[in-house]
């Protein structure tokens, strides 16, 4: 049964070819000073930077820049951006990049005018901001996180070896997001498939929790089937617009809060993946890929009906004449085949995890309560160990 909920998603989306032209409409709603934020330089190579700056100039904006936002953005970098936004007096923060840039900008938007210790307030106590929030707009160039339409802001504290995701309320969601699938054509294959698995993982994290028959589960099955179908096309032809646009749209729906409404969610794979990144700086989606199979094999006996349903409805396994356990196991085998086919990392060793780090990674792993089994520290170490032979 669906639980009670309130739902609002305030982000306005502009989707499709040349949707960047809508930036002008949005810029008109904000003051003169725009803080333009981007990553390590991909937007300068592929021309997106010139396009955005051209529109900002045309609209008469005064622009300051913060570049060099790294994948897995750090707390130190966040403080640098907050200072820049405050001193410049930014009216709007424009994120041009992937989840890292978008998450970072949300962090900056609530930190620029915050008088408290930002890490403790937002990333340890998970409090909502009570200071002025600078609005954020997003031009998305990498698909996966759903950050373009949610309140998530994942920041790494390198000193504490913690990578923590704060989920802010609606005031911090991007005010608008521009999604042009063609902007993702220049992504390296490693990033593209990492993003594809990130999407898959977001859906699974919300699907594998509770045994209720609710609309969200049906929506998620449809999203996963679309993703699997389109991923196979995109790995063969990364410039297939239909496949890339379907993947982009699925990513947004996978984590724009809708499918989580009224149901429990898990998020343990993300907690282990984030702990891996905190220790290795590995690419987000690949950390999830490396631990998902050992994790789901561990929890499957505690949610066997849902895993059997997943096998049949998502992977097309024929359940006739099989026990739920046999069907469920076959589902994970078919999923593993797909993961290998599209080129995901299944062995955490490839991400810099070594057997002597397992205890420390387990110590950095937050334990969630919503999955089919609440893990122990030993379970986390076992899952990581299994990934090393994956
Ligand atoms: O930095 P640049 O030079 O721009 O290069 C980036 C980066 O190296 C490159 N890239 C992006 N767009 C490109 C491109 N290269 C060529 N052409 C383009 N069009 O791709 C690399 C990865 O970018 P990044 O933004 O780090 O990837 P992603 O979108 O996967 O974001 C990952 C971050 O988001 C967090 C992750 O933990 C991680 O820190 N997440 C945010 C979530 C949220 N807000 O809800 C949820 C997710 O589960 C996730 O945790
Ligand atoms: Zn993710």
Mean pLDDT by 10 residues, the chain (390 residues): 92 98 98 98 97 98 98 98 98 98 98 98 98 98 98 97 96 98 98 98 96 90 98 98 98 97 96 97 98 98 97 98 98 98 98 98 97 98 95
**Domain finish residue from 183, 199, 234:** 183
From ligand 2's centre to the CA of 348, what distance in Å?
16
Final residue before a domain boundary, out of 183, 200, 215: 183
Statement to judge: residues 151 and 253 lie in one domain: no
Distance 268 CA to ligand 1 centre (A): 20
Beta carbons within 8 Å of 39's beta carbon, 6+ residues apart: 67, 68, 69, 70, 71, 97, 98, 100, 101
Instruction: Return d(Cα 167, Cα 216) in angstroms, integer.
Output: 20
Query: Domain of 22: which CATH number?
Result: 3.40.50.1970
* Structure tokens, 175: 């005010």
Beta partners for residue 95, in sequence order: 37, 138
Q: How far is the CA of 367 from the centre of ligand 1 (A)?
A: 24
pTM value?
A: 0.98
User: What pLDDT, on the 0 to 100 scale, is given for residue 2?
Assistant: 84
pLDDT at 93: 99
Verify that 255 and 151 share a domain, yes or no: no
Handedness of CA 61, 65, 70, 73 (dihedral sign): negative
Indicate whether 232 and 169 sit together in one domain: no
User: Are 127 and 54 within one domain?
Assistant: yes
Within a domain: 1: no
- Same domain for 309 and 353, yes or no, is yes
Q: Are residues 199 and 95 in the same domain?
A: no
Domain identity same for 195 and 168: no
101 and 145 belong to one structural domain: yes
Residue 280's alpha-carbon distances to 56, 161, 291, in angstroms, are 37, 10, 14
Encode 15-63 in three state secondary structure: ECCCHHHHHHHHHCCCCCEEEEEECCCHHHHCCHHHHHHHHHHHCCCEE
Residues 249 and 115 in one domain: no
User: Could you tell me if 336 and 295 lie in one domain?
Assistant: yes
Give the chain's domain count.
2
Test site for ligand 1: of 154, 272, 282, most ligand atoms within 8 A of the Cβ: 154
Q: C-alpha angle 139/151/274, rounded to 5°?
A: 95
Domain boundary, last residue among 183, 214, 247: 183
Report the residue among 42, 77, 150 best suited for mutation to probe ligand 1: largest number of ligand atoms under 8 A from its CB: 42
Are 138 and 195 part of one and the same domain?
no
Q: Identify the pLDDT of residue 77.
A: 98
Nearest to 302 by CA among 377, 375, 203: 375
Domain range for 171 is 12-183
Ligand 1 center to 58 CA (angstroms) = 28
Give the span between the Cα atoms of 210 and 225, in whole angstroms: 21
Q: List all residues whose CB is within 6 A of at least one atom of ligand 1.
A: 39-43, 46, 71-72, 97-101, 103, 141-142, 144-147, 150, 152, 154, 165, 183-184, 186-187, 191, 195, 198, 255, 270, 284
368 contacts: CB under 8 Å, gap ≥ 6: 266, 267, 268, 271, 374
DSSP assignment, residue 74? B
Quick one: 115 and 72 in the same domain? yes
Annotate 199-238 with b (16+ C-beta within 10 A) or e (fewer). bbbbbbbbbbbbeeebebbebbbebbebbbebbeebbeeb
Q: Is residue 286 part of a domain?
A: yes
CATH code of 226's domain? 1.20.1090.10
How many C-beta neighbours within 10 Å does residue 16 have?
A: 16
């Amino acid at each position: 049964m669906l639980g009670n909920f309130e739902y609002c998603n305030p982000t306005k989306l502009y989707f499709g070819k040349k949707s960047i032209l809508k930036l002008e409409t949005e810029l008109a709603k904000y003051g003169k000073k725009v803080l333009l934020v981007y990553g390590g330089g991909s937007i300068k190579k592929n021309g997106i930077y010139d396009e955005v700056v051209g529109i900002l100039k045309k609209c008469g904006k005064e622009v300051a820049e913060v570049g060099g936002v790294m994948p897995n953005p750090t707390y130190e970098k966040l403080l640098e951006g907050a200072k820049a936004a405050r001193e410049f007096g930014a009216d709007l923060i424009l994120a041009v990049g992937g989840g890292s840039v978008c998450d970072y900008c949300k962090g900056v938007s609530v930190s620029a005018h915050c008088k408290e210790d930002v890490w403790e307030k937002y990333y340890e106590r998970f409090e909502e901001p009570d200071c002025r929030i600078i609005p954020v707009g997003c031009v998305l160039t990498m698909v996966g996180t759903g950050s373009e339409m949610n309140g998530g802001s994942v920041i790494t504290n390198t000193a504490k070896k913690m990578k923590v995701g704060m989920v802010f309320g609606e005031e911090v969601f991007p005010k608008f997001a521009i999604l042009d699938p063609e902007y993702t054509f220049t992504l390296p294959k490693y990033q593209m498939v990492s993003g594809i698995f990130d999407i898959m993982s977001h859906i699974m994290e919300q699907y594998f929790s509770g045994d209720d028959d609710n609309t969200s589960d049906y929506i998620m099955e449809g999203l996963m089937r679309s993703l699997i179908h389109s991923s196979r096309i995109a790995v063969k032809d990364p410039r297939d617009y239909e496949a890339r646009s379907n993947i982009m749209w699925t990513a947004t729906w996978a984590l724009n809060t809708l499918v989580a409404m009224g149901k429990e969610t898990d998020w343990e794979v993300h907690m282990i993946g984030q702990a891996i990144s905190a220790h290795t700086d590995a690419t987000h989606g690949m950390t999830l890929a490396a631990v998902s199979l050992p994790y789901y094999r561990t929890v499957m006996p505690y949610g066997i009906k849902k895993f059997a349903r997943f096998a049949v409805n998502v992977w097309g396994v024929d359940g006739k004449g099989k026990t739920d356990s046999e069907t469920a196991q076959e589902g994970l085998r078919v999923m593993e085949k797909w993961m290998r086919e599209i080129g995901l990392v299944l062995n955490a060793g490839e991400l810099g995890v070594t057997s002597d780090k397992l205890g420390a990674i387990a110590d950095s792993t937050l334990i969630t309560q919503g999955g089919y089994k609440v893990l122990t520290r030993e379970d986390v170490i076992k899952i990581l160990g299994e990934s090393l032979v994956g």
